[in-house]
Structure 1
Amino acid sequence: MDASRAADGAVALAVPPEPEEKATGAPVRRQVPGLDGLRGLAALYVVLFHCRLYTFRGYPNSTAPAWLDVLMFGRLAVVFFLVLSGFSLAISPARHGWRSGGVAAFLRRRAWRILPPYWAALAMSLVISWALVPASHFGPPTGASILVYGLVAQDVVHAPTPNGAFWSIAVEAELYVLFPLLLLVRRRFGAVALAACATLPVIALGLTAAHANPVEGDNRLAVHLAPVFVAGVIGAGVVVASDRVRRLPWAWFALLAAAPVVLLGFRRGTVWTVQHYFWVDLAVAPAMTMLVAAVATGRPGALVRLLSTRPFRALGDFSYSLYLIHLPLVMVVIRRVAPRVVAPGMPTFCLTLALALPASVLGAWLFSRVFEMPFKRNRSWKSMIAAGRSRRGGRDARDGAPLPEGRHAEH
């Protein structure tokens, strides 16, 4: 993958899993405290990464100040979101013998949850790309872009992108299709066999590449990123494990697993790390899985309480919308607004933080109210229409209620 493409794909799908269902089909919320907070923080990091990325050209050899290097690892957000996605989706199957409850039903629920807001964001991104600023150095989107991205086929077929972060949606969509098969392997052969099936082919691919460091193309990244998704799936077993396993110091295990990767990256430098993401992805996934497992088992308590506070939960609640719409807004500020009022470099970066960051968060919250939450709260058009009628009926009943004694209607 070239540097610009790797940088554009800074995040995987930030979508919480669908709730479990009763026998009647009504949703039952069994969310694990803290996971939404992690999801929200990761999405916020991606916004900051893109603010840095498009302000300072030449990624990864950019002209940004060294203290901003902490914001240049957007690719690791891909890994974290995939780990978190695999973990979250596998919690319910882990509680039910590693069964998905039906392939067709699972895929329908995922499509219902993901596609409506994605298509709305696609329309928004197309308009911004055509009217204000192209999202790619390949030029504005074409008719092929509408077809390819509308069908979520961008990991298989290349077309000028309307939104540089959309490629990861296709990657995760492919992993969703594989998810029932992954559960079957986990159920029949165990966690070790599942890890081997997903990881060994990727390792072989890397070792047989020139200089043992594959140059990734614009497409077909699902195979490479499947092991990090599988790591999350396997990690979900901790949630239903024995008390002895749940009480293990998973946070400390995460720190120990991350230490070699961090030390190697520090020693070799940030540019080397970015150029070797193929291996860094695989190396850091176990640490990320243990971090998610630690939060899911309630440890450390202070961190879980912080992640479970209302601001973090709210941010995680609309993190998918934040992922979908933030990049066009960031690029409008950097490419169209900033050149007219401030100098390049740090002044542009500061202006982008001041304008694009709050606009992205507020815009994502508003976007989620219209295009995400209705599909998150309801499982079908029928239930959505019924919920709308119920709300209108409630308002009508309140409007028609008699006034309290002593109060008179004003005319």
Structure 2
Amino acid sequence: MSEPDNQQGKNRNIQFLRGLAIILVLFAHGSVMLVGEEAVYWDSVLQHILPGVGVDLFFLISGYLMGVTFLRKQRQFDLIAVYGFYKKRIRRVLIPTWFWAAAVVLLGLLDLIDGSPAYGMQAIVGIASSAAFFLANVYNALHETDFGYFWSIALEVQFYLFFPLLLLVGRYFWWAVIAILLWLSFASPFSPEWLFRANALFAGLLIWKLSTLEPFRLAEQEINQLSVPSRAFISVAAVLCAAVVASTLADLASFRWTAATLILAVCFVLNAFSNDVVFGALSRPVEAIGNLSFSLYLCHIPAWLFTMHWLADIPLVPRVLTCVTVSLIVAFLSYRYLEQALTSAPKGRGEQAAQPVPVRER
């Protein structure tokens, strides 16, 4: 039997899903490491399968953990509790985000000095300031850039700021969550919708609520009656299916993100509520990447662009391996000396990074 998932208070399967999510994101941004026909070919592949659903998997985990860490303790609006909520979460993302926003400015300045800038000073300042003030999704909706990946951090922080206000509706809280999810799915006013797709964050909240209901115990028993290989196979199939659906339903605007989220929820539930480590020996290395997920998300584009500045002319395989290796090293340093040391947080990505994941509630 696999090692149980609750060692040291962590749910190792959720850590694995974090690692899987960031790996998907790296694939989604892979064209940064490619040149010429390589990039054209990769972009054509992404027309049929969208690994960017890794972000939705991150959001799903964050929404669920919002229930575990906040709603389980706080049933109504309380100013002191909300202050503590803001302080804990914003602190854990603030310093690393500011640091990497500053790194983007430095990278842009180096390009300006080099004489072949991709962006002017005004664009560089806009990118960095919107990232620093968690408005990158708004900025990127107006000015698309290579550094638009800050959008998801901005959206998650916006969710953190908005979420406690929902408690003001009292006993209608869960009806409000459902209404917002339906609104985002069928009548979202935002454009482009992918920059504002908080669908999975609210879906994660609903999964937590369902997990607290007594009938869910039957579903949990059935999950654990499945063999571990079956759970692993279904999980991988669900992620691949979500990536295909998100691409196939592109014409359905924001509904495609809800559709992809519902499929990802199958993977999430099979892992989060399993008594075994679903992916066995593969779990440890992916968990390790999951620990670095926030730092790796923040640094991979700057690290790749900087590496490509020097190594764009070398063959494909060593170029990609070098870019990935550099980004992992930089992510570890960022995690060690920013996330852990400067924020005084024991581990990672707010509610979406490497801190211990509470064992599911009983």
Q: TM-score, normalised by structure 2?
A: 0.73
Q: Is the 8 A contact 1:46 1:77 kept in 2?
A: yes
Which of 275, 290, 294 is the aligned partner of 1:320?
294
Q: Give the corresponding residue for 1:62.
A: 40
Following the alignment from structure 1 to structure 2, what is the Cα–Cα distance between the partners of residues 371 and 113?
9
Which of 118, 127, 133 is the aligned partner of 1:151?
133
Q: Give the corresponding residue for 1:246.
A: 220
Following the alignment from structure 1 to structure 2, what is the Cα–Cα distance between the partners of residues 264 and 362?
28
Following the alignment from structure 1 to structure 2, what is the Cα–Cα distance between the partners of residues 271 and 220?
12
1:95 deviates by: 3.3
Letter in 1 for 2:150: F
Give CA-to-partner distance per residue, 1:180-231, whole Å, 9 cap, x none: 234566x62364x24431123234426xxxxxxx8933x8943xx2222100
Within a 5 Å distance, the mapping from 1:361-400 to structure 2 comes to 361-375=328-342, 377-378=344-345
Q: Is the 8 A contact 1:94 1:237 kept in 2?
A: no
Q: Is the 8 A contact 2:60 2:201 kept in 1?
A: yes
CA 1:273/1:48 → structure 2, altered by over 3 Å: closer, same or farther?
same
Letter in 2 for 1:205: A
CA 1:90/1:114 → structure 2, altered by over 3 Å: closer, same or farther?
same
Letter in 1 for 2:55: V
1:286 deviates by: 1.6
Q: Give the corresponding residue for 2:59.
A: 82
More helix per residue: 2
Q: 5+ residue gaps in structure 1?
A: 1-28, 207-213, 380-411
Matched residue of 1:176: which SS?
helix
Letter in 2 for 1:353: V
Higher relative contact order, chain-length normalized (CA < 8 Å, sep 6+): 2
Matched residue of 1:340: which SS?
coil
Q: 5+ residue gaps in structure 2?
A: 1-7, 347-362
Q: Is the 8 A contact 1:94 1:240 kept in 2?
A: no
The number of residues matched between the two structures is 324
Matched residue of 1:73: which SS?
coil
Q: Is the 8 A contact 1:239 1:293 kept in 2?
A: no
Aligned residues: CA RMSD: 4.1
Within a 5 Å distance, the mapping from 1:122-137 to structure 2 comes to 122-132=101-111
Give CA-to-partner distance per residue, 1:155-184, whole Å, 9 cap, x none: 334567583311211111111112223456
Q: Is the 8 A contact 1:298 1:304 kept in 2?
A: no
Q: TM-score, normalised by structure 1?
A: 0.65
Q: Is the 8 A contact 1:132 1:332 kept in 2?
A: no
Q: Give the corresponding residue for 1:228.
A: 200
CA 1:119/1:215 → structure 2, altered by over 3 Å: closer, same or farther?
closer
Q: Is the 8 A contact 1:125 1:162 kept in 2?
A: no
Matched residue of 1:63: which SS?
helix
Q: Give the corresponding residue for 2:359.
A: none
Following the alignment from structure 1 to structure 2, what is the Cα–Cα distance between the partners of residues 54 and 246?
42
Which of 170, 188, 195 is the aligned partner of 2:154?
170
Which of 329, 337, 340 is the aligned partner of 2:310?
337
Within a 5 Å distance, the mapping from 1:11-410 to structure 2 comes to 30-52=9-31, 55=34, 62-64=40-42, 69=46, 73-96=50-73, 98=75, 102-132=81-111, 139=120, 141-157=123-139, 158=142, 163-182=147-166, 188-189=171-172, 191=174, 193-205=175-187, 216-217=191-192, 221-222=195-196, 225-242=197-214, 243-249=217-223, 262=241, 265=244, 272-274=248-250, 276=252, 278-298=254-274, 301-303=276-278, 305-306=280-281, 309=284, 311-334=285-308, 336-342=309-315, 347=316, 350-375=317-342, 377-378=344-345
Which has the higher Rg, Structure 1 or Structure 2? Answer: 1
Following the alignment from structure 1 to structure 2, what is the Cα–Cα distance between the partners of residues 109 and 264?
32
Following the alignment from structure 2 to structure 1, what is the Cα–Cα distance between the partners of residues 238 and 155?
28
CA 1:371/1:200 → structure 2, altered by over 3 Å: closer, same or farther?
same
Letter in 2 for 1:130: L
1:54 deviates by: 5.3
Following the alignment from structure 1 to structure 2, what is the Cα–Cα distance between the partners of residues 197 and 263?
23
